[in-house]
Amino acid sequence: METMVRDRQITPTGSRSAAIAPGRRALGMAPFAPSAFDPRTVAMGRCELGKIRLEMGRFQDALELFEQSLAVQPHAVESWYGRAEALTCLGRYEDALASLEQAQTLAGFASARLWVQKAAVLLWLNRLEAALNCCNRALWLTPHHSQAWLFRGVALHRLGRVKEAYRSYRRVSQPEAAAGARANIQQLCQDIALQSQAG
């Protein structure tokens, strides 16, 4: 590994100094000896670079990095989630949905964040009932999740259920009015019961 001390480069000596990983140069990273990194570490690094590329709006680059990460570590929930985000930004909603379902399977369906992201993709696909169900699942896990309340409102609004939609919107715009998790769960159960009676 090379280290900079003031303006002078120090090159290591010994068995690791001979072989430098060329793949790191391609990723714009400093060269290191290949034996210095475990494949899981490389996969995590590519996932993190993918997140940075997403923030920069370089969606295709991000997708490639997430897929490189998954090639090394196929059970990484975060890489599947990032892949889904990149695919969504590229307008490939069905593929994004498949990635989210893979992430959910690996995470045990216990992540509100994954349910909310799935709801967003389903809204893009105009699968409103499925999006609503995902929001309800997210809110069951995390009753104060503002994005889940927002997307729930959008799904209800687009389904023509305006009163219920505005109750969900209020939870986003006035969180102090519905701050209690117990009150949120009770309201969610009431809304689901009303939906069942109407259907």
Residue 105 lies in a domain: no
Number of domains comprising the chain: 1
Residue 66: band (very low, low, confident or very high) from pLDDT cuts 50, 70, 90? very high
- Lowest mean per-residue pLDDT among 31-35, 77-81, 165-169, 185-189: 31-35
Q: Which domain holds residue 191?
A: 128-199
Q: Could you report the per-residue pLDDT of 106-142, keeping only the tens digit for each?
A: 999 999 999 999 999 999 999 999 999 999 999 999 9
Tell me which residue of 116, 50, 135, 121 sits closest to 91, measured CA to CA.
121
Residue 164 lies in a domain: yes
CATH number for the domain including 141? 1.25.40
Q: Could you report the per-residue pLDDT of 6-36, keeping only the tens digit for each?
A: 343 433 333 333 433 444 444 555 554 444 5
Residue-averaged pLDDT of the chain? 81
Write down the pLDDT at residue 182. 59
Write down the pLDDT at residue 40. 87
Write down the pLDDT at residue 177. 53
Residue 147 lies in a domain: yes
Write down the pLDDT at residue 193. 63
Residue 136 lies in a domain: yes
Residue 144 lies in a domain: yes
Write down the pLDDT at residue 183. 64
Residue 94 lies in a domain: no
Residue 155 lies in a domain: yes
3-state helix, strand, coil in the chain (%, to 5): 70, 5, 25
Buried b (16+ CB within 10 A) or exposed e, 76-96: bbbbbbbbbbbbbbeebbebb
Residue 8 lies in a domain: no
Q: Could you report the per-residue pLDDT of 159-183, keeping only the tens digit for each?
A: 999 999 999 999 887 765 555 555 6
Whether the CB-CB separation of 194 and 164 falls below 8 Å is answered with yes
Residue with tokens 């009753």: 143
pTM of this prediction exceeds 0.85 = no
